[in-house]
Chains A and B, each alone.
Chain A
């Protein structure tokens, strides 16, 4: 069986968790099926065994010419309707990634290389050639802030590329690739699987409506199978987006196994960690309030907020207002090595996300044997079932949970054992098998023969 996946991020060009998930899932699935990816950008030096990667920024010249010619011909496909929706806010970066601001500020540097970094000169020339006929690309920056144009261009080019591919299933990841998936389904009649890693609901709340919402909804409606990364996200898919529950199959993400280690802290206090982008979705203000409450009861705790985002500066001032600046530390953006160093000395992980489709970081913390206090509004709460949970807004209960873990040694040990055990079941191999089962049951394809 052959699976064609469409993704938006893929290591090493990543912004949030999407690229990591695509890699983990791809590696595990490739043991069972023929797997290829079409992506807007790839790093040609990054090779994955048995996974064929195609980047629109690294197309063979012959294909570029062919795509250009086909795009020049008139067509009436779905994605053209998206191209007409041209006046939307310029702030539609995927996952609300903050734009790089001017200056030498280390706290303004984005988490990682965003997908919108300019391609190399050669690659830019190629892609510009490939999309020459599109008026939206005739002038201006190719990789500017106009995500909708990139999404449309990606849809058109992927659809043409797909014509010459053999595959049984189209499997697409998040809204940026939905129009492409729908277009390919229309052209080929192959079944469409949409994988939901994150929704505009998570980033903007229940009031979110607009172009991205429309893309998400129409993509899920056109799909034969919708795979949200958790039951929590599944309820949003069926509730907020009104998708038929019969075709919604939640499948939890896996976590790449790590080699956890412990470092001795250089200070006597216990350490409570928050790790993530400093955006409303992740609930950093709640973490600060939780910290202030815990510190009122126990001064022998340090809190670390690792990551950066548009909330960083207000959060720093809010911390000073709460008078916790000598116990509550901001690190700014940290690379993987520093994150691991931090995990190796962390006592409690706290994830008070307002809406978290999955929450891989809590699972990664569990791999380090760190008990987590997590919000009920998260997918990972379904996996780490014995982790202490509270509603994201219930800072009193969150604080109480943290104090319990920090003061009750038996309770702490139970939580460590439980999280180590819970995370064991969370592998990409298990996720891949469930994906194949869902293909079988919902797409009438025999994959597990």
Chain B
């Protein structure tokens, strides 16, 4: 009988406003402040507040219930500014001791391929943020943006001192082996990798509430039975926290599903485990050899959600090449602003894929089309380049 390891991702980007050519050189503020506040408020009311209250309640009633969270740095920052009530609830949740916090890049970014140094800075920033807001120890487990994983990254993350890392369990790479357990990249010494069970995760994240799904409606009891008959030591169910109440509205029964989850699992004999507990108690099943980056995004499960077309390639490249100049200026506000433009969502909005992937992208985007997303980003980037150049010249 496997354990169940649940991990939630909570994240909100700093979306850019319709920054036009005429703003370049004139307007140093790029973000759609009102929109970002409104979205945070909406998601707080639909998800962060009621879902976190539910989890608190469940932990009180079922002391064996465990979950893990990663809260992106930019999300924590937005919530601190606009919704301190959300932060307070998360603080209470962490204080129960039943919740493990996981580290990621503060800016939910994609910078590793470009600069290990910048990547390490953002990880450290996130760790410090978690320590200061939640009073926790340094997290033992790391996850990269949208579960991006590959050998080289695993090696780097190990060198940063982490013991475990989360990854998408890509069926082709598992090559017939179960995702339910721990694996290890061939080029690391100790770092263990928790592979996500895509099927059982997406049953909640995507298929839940879809009346055309033969398994609809999915109840906690049915789900517990599925978990109980899985092979392996641990089933890794990794999903967006916003699934509860935001991607899946209350009407779908998602809150009922979660409120019955702990009891249903206990009836089925399934225990809950945090990622750290999995590291401590489970065996490494074998080598997970990932040469090219994988992620949990889109059907391709690679980087194509952010780097699949020329607009995305150009935008990601050009924001990151500013690193040396921005850092040389040594202005914390400028550094922060530049870093926020690395958030993966900006590039996600520029995706031109169609079909089911395209639908998911267009669900999240604040822009009418990927082209506006690109235009506004590049205009803002042009302004940033100009400011960076001016500040560089002004330096002695």
Residues in chain A within 8 A of chain B (CB atoms) = 103-108, 265-268, 302, 304, 312-313, 316-317, 320-321, 323, 325-327, 329-331, 338, 341
Contact = CB atoms under 8 A, between A and B. Distances in A.
Nearest to B377: A325
Given A320-B374, A326-B382, 11 more contacts: A103-B368, A105-B372, A106-B18, A108-B368, A266-B25, A316-B374, A320-B309, A320-B310, A329-B21, A331-B22, A338-B22
Contact of B368 (A104, A325, A329): A104
Interface stretch (B244-252, B291-299, B311-319): B311-319
Looking at B315, B368, B371, B375, which has the most chain A CB atoms within 10 Å of its CB?
A: B371
Contacts of B25: 265-267
Contact of B24 (A266, A313, A320, A325): A266
A247 B375 CA distance: 49
A107 B385 CA distance: 25
Contact of B314 (A108, A265, A325): A325
B378 interface: yes
Closest 8 CB pairs of A and B: A266-B25, A105-B368, A267-B25, A320-B310, A329-B21, A320-B311, A325-B378, A320-B314
Contact of B20 (A265, A325, A331): A331
A316 B371 contact: yes
Given A266-B25, A320-B311, A320-B374, A326 B368 contact: no
Interface string B143-166: 000000000000000000000000
Contacts of A104: 368
Interface string B269-313: 000000000000000000000000000000000000000011101
Contacts of B24: 266-267, 329
Interface in B364-396: 368-369, 371-372, 374-375, 378-379, 381-382, 385-386, 389
Contacts of A107: 368-369, 371-372, 375
B81 interface: no
B36 to A, nearest CB: 19
A306 to B, nearest CB: 8
Contacts of B22: 331, 338, 341
Contacts of B318: 325-326
B26 interface: yes
B311 A106 contact: no
Contacts of B26: 266
Given A105-B368, A106-B368, A325-B318, A316 B20 contact: no
A268 B378 CA distance: 17
A313 B382 contact: no
12 contacts: A103-B369, A105-B371, A267-B386, A302-B382, A317-B309, A317-B352, A320-B315, A325-B378, A326-B378, A326-B381, A329-B375, A329-B379
Contacts of A108: 368
Looking at A104, A268, A325, A338, which has the most chain B CB atoms within 10 Å of its CB?
A: A325
Main SS class of interface, A: mixed
A329 B386 CA distance: 15
Interface in B26-50: 26
A316 B382 contact: no
A65 B114 CA distance: 75
Contacts of B313: 320
Given A320-B311, A325-B378, A312 B371 contact: yes
Contacts of B314: 320, 323, 325
Contacts of B378: 325-326, 329
Contacts of B372: 105-107
B382 A329 contact: yes
B276 to A, nearest CB: 43
A325 B369 contact: no
A326 B311 contact: no
Looking at A103, A304, A326, A329, which has the most chain B CB atoms within 10 Å of its CB?
A: A326
Contact of B386 (A268, A304, A320): A268
Contacts of B379: 329
Contacts of B315: 320, 325
Contacts of A313: 369, 371
Contacts of B311: 316-317, 320, 325
Nearest to A330: B375
A325 to B, nearest CB: 4
Contact of A316 (B21, B375, B386): B375
Looking at B26, B314, B318, which has the most chain A CB atoms within 10 Å of its CB?
A: B314
A342 to B, nearest CB: 8
Looking at B22, B26, B374, B385, which has the most chain A CB atoms within 10 Å of its CB?
A: B22
B97 to A, nearest CB: 47
Given A317-B311, A320-B310, A326-B385, A331 B21 contact: yes
Looking at A104, A313, A320, A327, which has the most chain B CB atoms within 10 Å of its CB?
A: A320
Contact of B369 (A105, A326, A341): A105
B218 to A, nearest CB: 33
Contacts of A331: 20-22
Nearest to B23: A266
Nearest to A341: B22
A317 B368 contact: no
Interface in B3-21: 18, 20-21
